Amino acid sequence: MEEFNQFQSKLENKRILITGGAGFIGSNLCETLLKLKAEVICLDNFATGHRHNLERCFDNQNFRFIEGDIRDLKTCKEACNNVDYVLHQAALGSVPRSIEDPITSNEVNVSGFLNMLVAARDTAVKRFVYAASSSTYGDSKGLPKIEDKIGKPLSPYAITKYVNELYAENFYKTYGLDTIGLRYFNVFGRKQDPKGAYAAVIPKFVMQFMKNESPVINGDGTYSRDFTYIDNVIQMNLLALTTDNKEAVNQVYNTAVGDRTNLLELTNLLKKHLSTFDTKIAQVEIKHGPKRPGDIPHSLASVDKAKELLKYKPSHSIEEGIKEAVAWYWNNLKK
């Protein structure tokens, strides 16, 4: 938390709306901003978020919760009223979910996003920072991924997140609304939900290891990702909120570490750090299943743009993040 204290002078007493604030990333942002003495308004409908993620927030006098849906424009406008900044995290994530139900993904991720832009415009929000996605790179073959070189989207989810970027740019050019998009790369860490059909790979595997069950890797395990610890993502959001560099605003940034790990390496890291709690985990075997449709083989971000314009300095490598994350899961969810 110490590395975030530099932001307090700029954020203290500022009113910040966090949509999707009961989710994994949103709730971590809520806690951080409250520690920085900001006023936090959280909007969530609990479609994928959880009330227990906010248990440390409800007793704080600077915290207000609104249960509502971004698909309702009136709710969005009420939430944006008298707000300085918006951190828009609300979305229906997951490539497989979007393939199974593209209509709902579009309603939330596109129509809901547009509602929030309109509400922010109409209430004179100073800056709108939103969660974009590395899925926008689609079938682009080049590595590392550079912000201005993308391919064609490979899933309905990826399409929705690209449309978000187009709308954000249009609202700046048309209405003068300042926006910054953060293309998240496989974020993981404390509070990430290990349950459900669309659970992310790290919390899902951690829970299976803790039960001495064999996780199943989709494919041969050579697919790689730029796994990004939650504290790096929080830093990027704070930098996007507070930057005074005019050139840095109305841009899209990779939000990652700039390193990639394949799934076999990932499972070895998880076993290594979980074995400090239970030595039997080191002996758990890994199983393999079919590849998932819509998955890209490799993902690696260039974070040069964020370092140059936002002065981003990733605080956690993949292994440092894994070490902290598995300790949190062990201490909070081991039963």
pLDDT tens, position by position, 106-115: 999 999 999 9
> What's CA 68's distance to the chain center, in Å?
20
105 CB-near residues (< 8 Å, 6+ apart): 92, 97, 98, 156, 157, 160
What would the mean pLDDT of 115-141 be, rounded to a whole number? 96
Active-site annotation holder among 157, 162, 172, 312: 157
Give the residue numbers spanning the domain of 140. 12-189+229-258+301-316
Asked whether residue 199 is assigned to any structural domain, the reply reads: no
Least Cα distance to 278 among 226, 206, 225, 228 occurs for: 206
Confidence class of residue 335 from pLDDT cuts 50, 70 and 90?
Answer: low
What would the mean pLDDT of 306-326 be, rounded to a whole number? 97
Is residue 293 scored above 80 in pLDDT?
Answer: no
Asked whether residue 213 is assigned to any structural domain, the reply reads: no
Is residue 301 scored above 80 in pLDDT?
Answer: yes
For the stretch 197-230, pLDDT in tens is 777 899 999 999 999 999 999 999 999 999 999 9
Q: Tell me the percentage of the chain whose pLDDT exceeds 90.
A: 90
Domain count, the chain: 1
Asked whether residue 4 is assigned to any structural domain, the reply reads: no
Asked whether residue 23 is assigned to any structural domain, the reply reads: yes
pLDDT score for 137 = 94
What would the mean pLDDT of 256-275 be, rounded to a whole number? 96
Asked whether residue 330 is assigned to any structural domain, the reply reads: no
Chain mean pLDDT for the chain = 95
pLDDT score for 69 = 98
| CATH classification at residue 67 | 3.40.50.720
Is residue 314 scored above 70 in pLDDT?
Answer: yes
Using a 10 angstrom Cβ sphere, with 0-12 exposed, 13-18 middle and 19 or more buried, the burial of residue 279 is exposed
157 is catalytic: yes
Q: Tell me the percentage of the chain whose pLDDT exceeds 70.
A: 99
Asked whether residue 242 is assigned to any structural domain, the reply reads: yes
Asked whether residue 240 is assigned to any structural domain, the reply reads: yes
Asked whether residue 248 is assigned to any structural domain, the reply reads: yes
What would the mean pLDDT of 66-89 be, rounded to a whole number? 98
Confidence class of residue 2 from pLDDT cuts 50, 70 and 90?
Answer: low
